Amino acid sequence: MELEPTGQITGPIPADHLLYPFGWADPASRDSTPDRNRGSGRYFWGHTRQIFPDEGGCWAQPSRPYGGYPGARGMTFRMHFGLVPRAQLHCLQGLVAAEDGRKHGQSLDELTGCGVILLGHALIPTQPQ
């Protein structure tokens, strides 16, 4: 699966914050693998995908693989958009640096503990193969 995200935000990003996407797989959905795994309900920080809106608030990112593995079809994803305080980047980086954080993502409590403010999301349903 490929995703080419674009969007528009209203209002400026606060000077002491950065805007990033956070992926999330709905635990009510199942993938197309033989085990029909559920979404984790955990968040994955798009740390290499910082969003830079233009003067009109518009932004676009290049197409990229999405879903993380070949059997991900059937899952319902959300791309959340979150403000990350510059002063708390080290906190978020620490969560992602841990092996468990890399493999399994972060909980909402962990993100808010690092000062992340989720602003909204886009729904990304997929069809099973």
Q: How confident is the model at residue 93 (pLDDT cuts 50, 70, 90)?
A: very high
Share of the chain above pLDDT 70, in %: 98
The more confident residue out of 128 and 69 is 69
- Compute the average pLDDT of residues 16-21: 97
Q: What is the largest CA-CA distance in the chain?
A: 47
- Compute the average pLDDT of residues 65-88: 91
Residue 26, helix vs strand vs coil: coil
Q: What is the DSSP letter of 91?
A: H
Q: How confident is the model at residue 128 (pLDDT cuts 50, 70, 90)?
A: low
- Compute the average pLDDT of residues 84-97: 95
